[in-house]
Amino acid sequence: MTPSNRRAPWFFLSPYLLLTLIFFIYPFLNAIILAFHQTNGPKSRAFVGWRNFIFVLSDSDFHTAFWNTTIYALASICVQLPLSLGFAMLLNAKKDNLKGIFRLILFSPHLVGQVFVGIIFALLFMPRHGLFNRFLQGLIFWGLDQEWLSNPALVMPALIIVSMWMYVGFNMIYFLAALQNVDQELTEAAMIDGANAWHRFWTVTVPAIKPVAVFVVIMSTIGSYQLFEMPYSMLRGYGPKNAGLTIVGYLYRTAFETGDLGTGAAIGWVLALIIFTFSMAQMAIARGTEID
């Protein structure tokens, strides 16, 4: 290699290295320091030890936020992802000219920013006049007068319904791509051997899509735990009795509405720890269930 060849990669990487140093490593280290300080806006601070963490972990609003976010994440994984897989399997015919169009339609909600989704669905959930309430009334003769966004018991179901609309198609794209990996010969061989479809699903399809499924589950978990903008805009804040308060909402409120950046940083660490723990657990489970 010529000297210019040796210098070139460092030169090409320098923007990344410089920006990462200033806007990632420095704030990252600062997040550790900040979490142990009491602050009042960006200007003043005083060392308080673990008090920020103790405050957060014993704050009942944090408990509410944690459970709300966890219910949302569970619904994403247990309801939304199977739906995405179901639609992907429905769409996965070999020759299908309409496949592309359905894929576009199912994906289209993902283009709409969460704030805009919140603005639109706040009106779709209106009692008496909202499109969703009318739809439910027409379908199951119930729901026209339900106050989805001001009845604390209905706030989380409403958020989950909106998240279905936003992400079912997005996750379907991944499953659809994964289904291309399913070995058709293997499916046929299993069929000849008399394996029923349920059996075929678990022995042929599931192993083939497993790497992608693990990826999608982990991405959904990480994304779910960072939910904030959609409920914040749809509920004009955090909902009645904090019924729509999420962990990031709690972080945002503490750091920027109350101005307590130290506690905000501590919440950030707690959130990072939660996400890290769940992703690791999911990866371990995925590895543990390896058949061969």
Partner 1 sequence: MVGLGLSYLLLPKQRQRITTIQRYVVLLLVAILILSPFLWLVSAVFKDTDVLMQYAFLPPLSEWSSETLNLKNFYNPETEELDSLFEAEKTIEGEVHFWRYLANSLFLASTSTIVTLFFSSLGGYALAKYEFHGKYAIISFMLGTMMIPGLLLLAPLYNLIYKIGWMDSYWALLVPGASSAFGMFLFRQACLSVPNSLMEAARIDGCSEFSIYLNIVMPLVRPMTGAFCLVSFLGNWNSFVYPNIYIQTQSKLTLPVILNQFVDVYSQQYGIFLAGTLIAIIPPAILFFALQREFISGLTSGAIKG
- Residue 43 or 290 with smaller CB distance to partner 1: 43
Instruction: Write out the DSSP string of the chain.
Output: --HHHHHHHHHHHHHHHHHHIIIIIHHHHHHHHHHTEEEETBTEEEE-TTHHHHHHHH-HHHHHHHHHHHHHHHHIIIIIHHHHHHHHHHH--SS-TTHHHHHHHHHGGGGS-HHHHHHHHHHHT-TTT-HHHHHHHHHHS--TT--TTTSHHHHHHHHHHHHHHHHHHHHHHHHHHHHTTS-HHHHHHHHHTT--HHHHIIIIIHHHHHHHHHHHHHHHHHHHHT--HHHHHHTTTT-GGGTT--HHHHHHIIIIIS--HHHHHHHHHHHHHHHHHHHHHHHHHHHHT---
Q: Rounded distance, CA 66 to CA 271, Å?
A: 9
Query: Shortest Cβ distance from residue 143 to partner 1 (Å)?
Result: 14
Question: In whole angstroms, how close is the CB of 239 to partner 1 at the nearest point?
Answer: 15
Nearer to partner 1, 244 or 264 (CB): 264
What minimum distance in Å lies between the beta carbon of 94 and partner 1? Answer: 11
Q: How far is the CB of 160 from partner 1 (least distance, A)?
A: 15
Q: Which is nearer to partner 1, 33 or 153 (CB)?
A: 33
State which residue, 92 or 151, has the beta carbon closest to partner 1.
92
Alpha carbons 75 and 70: distance in angstroms, whole number: 8
Distance of closest approach, residue 20 Cβ to partner 1, in angstroms: 7
Token pair for residue 4?
């210019």
Minimal distance in Å, beta carbon 189 to partner 1?
14
> Between 71 and 212, whose beta carbon lies closer to partner 1?
212
What whole-number distance in Å separates Cα of residue 93 and Cα of residue 139? 30
Choose between 153 and 197: whose C-beta lies nearer to partner 1. Answer: 197
Minimum CB–partner distance for residue 198 and partner 1 (Å): 5
